Amino acid sequence: MIFDSQLEASKEAFRWVKESMEAGAEVLGLATGSSPETLYQLLRESDLDFRETVSINLDEYYGLAPDHPQSYHSYMEDQLFHAKPFKESYLPDGTQADAGQETARYDQILVDHPIDLQILGIGTNAHIGFNEPGAPFDGRTQRVDLAPATIQANQRFFGSLDEVPRQAYSMGIGSIMEAKEIILLAFGQAKAGAIQASIEGPVTEAVPASILQRHPHVLVLLDREAASDLSPETLSQVKQAQV
Ligand code: GLP
């Protein structure tokens, strides 16, 4: 669906989250970045109660302690958890040097708590979570190298390029695809190419988000800028929101 603004698209995402919760969703998969910020604002301001809900985040920078201001632990605390505590909230531990131990721990969390609804953003290179181009479609949690484009894009959150971590722990694409429902949020011109390739291009590991074409329950919420590279054929098929 295409909206005039991030706010209107996020209101639709909020409706989906609310309906999923009312339908019995017990586990939410959460994302970070600027794309879900408005959704989190709507959740903070809502009367939804997450105290019986489990949250599982997609990823965390390797090398950042939870209390680092740019860690995804800090992001989630600021954006949502301080206002809306969950029963349990899981993120990868960016301080765990033993990748085998941390990825096994996280994969077990995903086995114990199958995700009902996954929120996703998308990188300018079509990454989902921190699954960069070339990541295997059947992948599980891994410690990954960030692509140069991702380091560049995320520089805005750090003091300098040098301060951006070069690695992260990320849930794998195989786990993301096991979520029962997925909401993909993308806003702004910088995402137009990634959205076009993911929706209209071939399903290929070179374009991580293209795998979503094979998921049975995906809601793609875009603003006009993020949708601006889509073909007239695609645009004629997608719902233009009446806002
Ligand atoms: C980050 C995160 C992704 C996120 C993406 C887009 O690197 N690891 O989960 O979807 O980049 O971020 P933004 O929404 O700020 O554009």
pLDDT in tens, 130-177: 999 999 999 999 999 999 999 998 999 998 999 999 999 999 999 999
pLDDT of the residue at 242:
42
pLDDT of the residue at 237:
83
**What's the gap in Å between 129 CA and the centre of ligand 1?**
7
pLDDT of the residue at 240:
65
pLDDT at 190 over 90: yes
Whole-angstrom distance, CA of residue 166 vs CA of residue 189: 25
Angle in degrees, CA 169, 170, 171, rounded to 5:
135
Convert the pLDDT of each residue in 49-74 to its tens digit: 999 999 999 999 999 999 999 999 99
- Token look-up 């809502």 returns 46
pLDDT of the residue at 66:
97
Convert the pLDDT of each residue in 200-218 to its tens digit: 999 999 999 999 999 999 9
Whole-angstrom distance, CA of residue 92 vs CA of residue 187: 26
pLDDT of the residue at 236:
87
Pocket of ligand 1 (CB under 6 A): 31-35, 58-59, 121-123, 129-130, 150, 154
Residue nearest ligand 1's atom 11 by CA: 123
Active-site annotation holds for 116: no
- What DSSP assignment string belongs to 119-176? EE---TT--BTTB-TT--TT--SEEEEPPHHHHHHHGGGSSSGGGS-SEEEE--HHHH
Active-site annotation holds for 127: yes
Active-site annotation holds for 131: no
- What is the best residue among 58, 91, 122 to mutate for testing ligand 1's pocket, by most ligand atoms within 8 Å of CB? 122
Whole-angstrom distance, CA of residue 49 vs CA of residue 64: 29
pTM comes to 0.96
Convert the pLDDT of each residue in 88-134 to its tens digit: 999 999 999 999 999 999 999 999 999 999 999 999 999 999 999 99
**What's the gap in Å between 154 CA and the centre of ligand 1?**
8
